[in-house]
Amino acid sequence: MKNYVFIAKAIPEGTGGKAVPHRREPGSVGLVKKQFYTFAEPPHEMELSSGAKLGPITLAYETYGRLNSDKSNAILILHALSGDSHAAGKYAEDDKHPGWWDNTIGPGKAFDTGKYFVICSNVIGGCQGSTGPASINPATGKEYGLSFPMITVHDMVRAQIHLIDHLGIDKLLAVTGGSMGGMQALRWAVSYPDRVIASIPIATTSKLSPQGIAFNEVGRVAIMADPNFNGGDYYGRTVPREGLALARMIGHITYLSDDSMHEKFGRKLRGKKSFGYNFNVDFEVESYLRYKGDTFVHRFDANSYLYITKAIDYFDLSLPEGSLVKAVEGTKAKFLIISFKSDWLYPPYQAREIVKALMINGVDVTYCEIDSRYGHDAFLLDEGEMSKMITNFLANVAERSGIREAASS
């Protein structure tokens, strides 16, 4: 009874234990520098989705790797709510942390800077060098504050197009990002089909669920209820730090999963053996959230939090057509869509809706649901599987497109 090869349903290989999240030191892009590009100088302001006009606009951006001679190896990385242009490397040797997606960008990593030219810019509305509510309004000489126009994910992409034009790149080899970055990756591929060869939207959705909007709204209300908010006019004074910290704490709960909270904190007490019987920090999880909230207020502007969360809420890929299937009709990009099983903020069923709409249109779409326990945060942690998939997918895209690698000298 041998050679029953036909009968067995293939046994999946490598079903063993999963690697734990880790950050790799080798393969760093090294020291990097933030750059700036300013455009849309009056009277050529950029028109926004709302109909308002904005200009001048500055985008802060960073690049890693080398652009090849025919400028065909560029990959645009798109950041999420609290991200910025600093996706990889360090500004100085003694920086405590590298860029936010350093585990995927660098020589030999998923976005291999030995092969690709990687770009990441801070979104408009942001507060890390790009024009946002904390920027000076040239018309008044004062910070915009809440007079900054409402922005959308599409507006973020519109601004990025100016940057890509400025860099002389006609067609991006790939656009990619997680969460709100994934929304941008979708918008790029759907609205600018001639400028994108491949799109890798990760842990994202074609429209945020009411549950997601609800969490964003609680964060915004927390900020606006802070006594120091002052209608968004707090620059040069005490900032609404309590409100912003609270918004961030709420956010962090949504990025984790029940499982990952059990693993990370359990019910462990923070620096004590028994309950304090007061309202100071008792549990590790309380300490974590407070720490995340406290550190966030030092690097993030509360008004930017309002504007960007609203942009996330407004995002709906099916508009203006009203049907996702219709909306993605003209898309030409090759897609790799990744979701994470334990992500309840951007759950896999929402990714599958995008997959379905693309598939009905005959778009070349590959979809994988990674069996991670780390919730929405999984796209930042990268347990290794995501990187491998991206590496293989990009290698295939580059090969099909006949991309030449950047000259090594």
Partner 1 sequence: MAEGARIDHSVILDLIPAGTKVLDLGCGDGSLLVKLVRQKGVTGRGIEISEEGVRACIAKGLTVLQGDIDQGLRDYPDGSFDYVVLNQTLQAVKKPDVVLSEMLRVGKKGIVGFPNFAYWKMRAYLFTFGRMPKTEFLPFEWYDTPNIHFCSVLDFTEYCAKNGVTIEKTVYLSTDRGGRVLRGVRPNLFAENAVFLLSARKS
Residues in contact with partner 1 by the rule CB under 8 A: 1-10, 12-15, 334, 336, 352, 355-356, 359-360, 362, 364-371, 385, 388-389, 392-393, 395-396, 399
Q: Which two tokens stand for residue 407?
A: 């000259």
Residue in the block written with tokens 């309840």: 344
Nearer to partner 1, 5 or 407 (CB): 5
Nearer to partner 1, 66 or 356 (CB): 356
Active site (annotated) includes residue 179: yes
Nearer to partner 1, 6 or 279 (CB): 6
Q: How far apart are CA 365 and CA 334, in angstroms?
A: 6
Nearer to partner 1, 1 or 407 (CB): 1
Q: How far apart are CA 189 and CA 163, in angstroms?
A: 17
CB of 353 to partner 1, least distance (A): 10
CB of 135 to partner 1, least distance (A): 41
For 86, 296, 379, the CA distances from 300, given in Å and listed in that order, are 14, 6, 21
- In a 3-state reduction of DSSP, which class is residue 183? helix
Active site (annotated) includes residue 274: no
Q: What is the dihedral of CA 332, 388, 100, 147, to 10 degrees?
A: 20
CB of 28 to partner 1, least distance (A): 25
Nearer to partner 1, 2 or 97 (CB): 2
Neighbours of 399 (CB within 10 A): 9
For 82, 126, 178, 354, 407, the CA distances from 351, given in Å and listed in that order, are 22, 26, 12, 5, 37
Nearest alpha-carbon partner for 59 in 28, 91, 85, 96: 85
The one-character DSSP state at 145 is G
263 within 8 A of 251, measured Cβ to Cβ: no
CB of 108 to partner 1, least distance (A): 16
Instruction: Please tell me which residue in 342, 376, 377, 382 is annotated as part of the active site.
Output: 376
Instruction: Please tell me which residue in 343, 372, 377, 382 is annotated as part of the active site.
Output: 343
Active site (annotated) includes residue 343: yes
CB of 263 to partner 1, least distance (A): 20
Q: How far apart are CA 100 and CA 98, in angstroms?
A: 7
Instruction: Please tell me which residue in 28, 85, 121, 179 is annotated as part of the active site.
Output: 179
Q: Which of the residues are catalytic?
A: 179, 343, 376
